[in-house]
Amino acid sequence: MSAITIPESQAVSRAASQAVSSAAQFAPREVLSFKLGTEEYGIDILKVQEIRGYEAPTRIAGTPIFMKGVVNLRGVIVPIVDMRVRFALPDVKYDAFTVVIILNVAGRTVGIVVDSVSDVLVLGADQIRPAPDFNAQIDADYITGLGTVKVGDSERMLILMDIEQLLAGADMGLMDMPVH
């Protein structure tokens, strides 16, 4: 029987910790899927407070272009972020399918404007792939993985996002400190 040294013990502990966090990252999870242009995204359903039809918010001067303004939601002033504008997608149109997803992130209530809401899906570990690696010039830290949903004989892909990390970014101006 051989003795394990302290550095070896720390390495084993670190590897076990990474395996546990990796398994948790790809454990089955429930997501709300929504569309922006031709792409479909998924966010943790537990962050969603409600889904509302789009109504024009009150614009606040000096805010970034993707910050559409604020709305009064039962006495709470809620900032509204247009995700199409935030992701620099073309042809921002507001129609009968446009909705605002009201979220609870980092103790704050925030709304995001999306083209439409698709489904609430349960994605198993076998349906979730790791996010691709990007270089430092591309800010994609909020992408947690890619989900695959089988529909009949075809598959559709979801870009899974950590909406809290995206909204907590310094460029958003919504949170005082980073969430993670």
Q: Does 96 map to a domain? A: yes
Residue type, 56: A
Is 51 a member of any domain? yes
**Tens digit of pLDDT for each residue in 99-150?**
999 999 888 999 999 999 999 999 999 999 988 776 555 567 888 999 999 8
Ranges of H-type helices in 49-160: 83-86
Rounded alpha-carbon distances, angstroms, from residue 66 to 83, 100, 145, 171? 7, 14, 24, 10
Integer Cα distance of 100 and 60 in angstroms: 18
pTM of the model: 0.78
153 located within any domain: yes
Number of structural domains the chain divides into: 1
Tell me what pLDDT residue 52 has.
96
The 3-state DSSP composition of the chain as helix, strand, coil percent (nearest 5) reads 20, 45, 40
Range of the domain at 65: 29-167
The backbone region for 145, taken as left when phi is positive above 0, alpha when psi lies in -120 to 50, beta otherwise, is: left
Are 133 and 151 spatial neighbours (Cβ–Cβ below 8 Å)?
no
Is residue 102 within 8 Å of 109, Cβ to Cβ?
Answer: yes
CATH number at residue 126: 2.40.50.180
Query: Does 13 reside within a domain?
Result: no
Region 35-63: what's the mean pLDDT? 95
Question: Are the beta carbons of 110 and 175 closer than 8 angstroms?
Answer: no
In a domain, 80, yes or no: yes
Question: Is the pLDDT at 71 greater than 90, yes or no?
Answer: yes
Could you tell me if residue 65 is inside a domain?
A: yes
User: In this structure, is residue 174 part of a structural domain?
Assistant: no
